[in-house]
Amino acid sequence: MGEPLLRVEGLRTIFQTSKQVVTAVSGISYSVDAGETVGIVGESGSGKSVSMLAVMRLVPSPAGRITEGRIWFQGRNLLDLNPAEMRAVRGKDIAMIFQDPMTSLNPVLSIGKHLVEPLKLHLGLTTTQAKTRAVELLQMVGIPDAANRLNDYPHQFSGGMRQRVMIALGLSCNPKLLIADEPTTALDVTIQAQIIDLVKRLRREFGMSVIWITHDLGIVAGLVDRVIVMYASHVVETASVDDLYEDPRHPYTLGLLSAIPRLDAAERTRLTPIPGKPPDLSNPPKGCPFAPRCGFSTADCLSEKPTLREVAPGHFSMCHLELSKQAFISLREVRVNA
């Protein structure tokens, strides 16, 4: 494949308050190919949402600022665009489903207005055409009786229904890249399955690329081609979905995979939690950000920050140890038995 659809280079984003500077994203790089689906998983507060808001140029300012990096999309650095050029990209070429539907829907606009306006603006539909399309979109995301609900306001919809409106809105203009930030947290698994089915269909039909942020390792397994794992503002591992689940190379990823009970595993094996909590991003540790919670860390890990290195073809990990999953597991057993 040639140039990827999206290529992020050395992106750094900070938040400055009167007291301190929080580094939300520490110089991360990744790319997304046309038609590819990338999953982003990671600890709460690790910078998943902020790194995507940066792509949309929607980092809340003045507190938040992109201080370094480039974001290449279809040959242009999005950070060089003026506000009008960026508005033309947003919603049309790149659409984002925000994590919190309550704050991203305008309470004084009807559900219909939310959908109709972008369809007229970006696709040049007439009001009547746009209304018909809006009803179709709401039906696709499973809103019952859609034609009669266009005049409702956001507060008249339940949390799960608002989330589905956001999804319909994200898909409305057939974007080249869809960024979905925890889009199904308020939905039940049966409805979630329906939405994931829909996204897969659009991906197949229109070759849409998708970035899907979630904490659900099951959704990632079933939906994405490649996974990015974030921890404390860093990308700590990235690999194809099969490689990541079969042979996780970063101790945090290994920890995540053994911390969850699974429907497809033997009953009642004791879970292995990750002890401790993530570091304070206003005062990050000198060495590896995961070292204080890592069961395998050495003196090096505490003093020197590892870089993201290729440990197998297409498989990158930010860890001094460069061990395989098997090696980590044997090491853990040796420790437990000692």
Partner 1 sequence: MPDSNQPLLAVEDLKVHFRISKGFLFGKKVGAVRAVDGVSFAVERGETLGLVGESGCGKSTTGLGIIQMPRPTSGKVLFDGVDLTQIDSETLRRTRRHLQMVFQDPYASLNPRLTVEKIIAEPMVVHDLEQGSAVRERVRELLHLVGLDPRVITRYPHEFSGGQRQRIGIARALAANPSFIICDEPISALDVSIQAQIINLLKDLQEQFNLTYLFIAHDLAVVRHFSDRIAVMYLGRIVELANRSDLYDTPKHPYTRALLSAVPLPDPKRERQRERIILKGEVPSPIRPPKGCHFNTRCPLAKTICFEEAPEIRDFSGHQVACHLVQ
Ligand X SMILES: Nc1ncnc2c1ncn2[C@@H]1O[C@H](COP(=O)(O)OP(=O)(O)OP(=O)(O)O)[C@@H](O)[C@H]1O
Number of residues located near partner 1, criterion CB under 8 A: 47
221 binds partner 1 (CB under 8 A): yes
Burial 279-318 (b: 16+ CB within 10 A, else e): bebeebbebbbbbbbbebbeeebeeebbebeebeeebbbb
219 binds partner 1 (CB under 8 A): yes
Collapse the DSSP code of 26 into the 3-class scheme (helix H, G, I; strand E, B; otherwise coil) and give the result: strand
Question: Does an H or E element contain 193, and which?
Answer: helix 189-206
Interface pattern 160-179 for partner 1 (x via CB under 8 A): x-------------------
Assigned token pair, 135:
């009803």
Interacting span for partner 1 (CB under 8 A) from 53-61, 66-74, 187-195, 294-302: 187-195
Backbone φ and ψ for 113, nearest 5 degrees, come out as -60, -45
Interacting span for partner 1 (CB under 8 A) from 92-100, 109-117, 166-174, 220-228: 220-228
49 binds Mg ion (CB under 5 A): yes
Interface pattern 13-42 for ligand X (x via CB under 6 A): --x------x-x-----------------x
19 binds partner 1 (CB under 8 A): no
191 binds partner 1 (CB under 8 A): yes
Q: State yes or no: cis peptide before 62, omega within 30 of 0.
A: yes
- Token look-up 């309470």 returns 107
215 binds partner 1 (CB under 8 A): yes
Q: How far is the CB of 139 from partner 1 (least distance, A)?
A: 11
Q: How far is the CB of 62 from ligand X (least distance, A)?
A: 11
Interface pattern 42-81 for ligand X (x via CB under 6 A): x-xxxxxxx---------x--xx-----------------
Question: Does an H or E element contain 189, and which?
Answer: helix 189-206
Nearer Cβ to partner 1 (189/327): 189
Q: d(Cα 47, Cα 98) in Å, to the nearest integer?
A: 14
Q: Which does 50 bind (CB under 5 to 8 A by kind): partner 1, ligand X, Mg ion, none?
A: ligand X
Collapse the DSSP code of 32 into the 3-class scheme (helix H, G, I; strand E, B; otherwise coil) and give the result: strand
Q: Which does 205 bind (CB under 5 to 8 A by kind): ligand X, partner 1, Mg ion, none?
A: none
Q: How far is the CB of 268 from Mg ion (least distance, A)?
A: 25
Assigned token pair, 196:
């994931």
46 binds Mg ion (CB under 5 A): no
Q: Taking the CB of residue 33, how many other CB atoms lie within 10 A of it? A: 17
Nearer Cβ to Mg ion (13/99): 99
Collapse the DSSP code of 225 into the 3-class scheme (helix H, G, I; strand E, B; otherwise coil) and give the result: coil
Question: Which own/partner contact pairs does 324-331 have at CB distance under 8 Å and 24+ positions apart?
Answer: 324/247, 324/249, 325/246, 325/247, 325/248, 325/249, 325/254, 328/251, 328/254, 328/296, 331/296
Nearer Cβ to ligand X (60/207): 60
Nearer Cβ to partner 1 (56/297): 297
Q: d(Cα 35, Cα 55) in Å, to the nearest integer?
A: 18
Instruction: Indicate which single residue of 84, 108, 264, 313 sits in contact with partner 1 (rule: CB under 8 A).
Output: 264
Interacting span for partner 1 (CB under 8 A) from 57-65, 89-97, 107-115, 183-191: 183-191
Q: How far is the CB of 56 from ligand X (least distance, A)?
A: 13
From the number of C-beta atoms within 10 Å of its C-beta (0-12, 13-18, 19+), residue 325 rates as middle
Question: Does an H or E element contain 239, and which?
Answer: strand 234-240
Q: d(Cα 289, Cα 136) in Å, to the nearest integer?
A: 47
Q: d(Cα 102, Cα 118) in Å, to the nearest integer?
A: 19
Query: Which residues lie near Mg ion (CB under 5 A)?
Result: 49, 99
Query: Which residues lie near ligand X (CB under 6 A)?
Result: 15, 22, 24, 42, 44-50, 60, 63-64, 99, 281
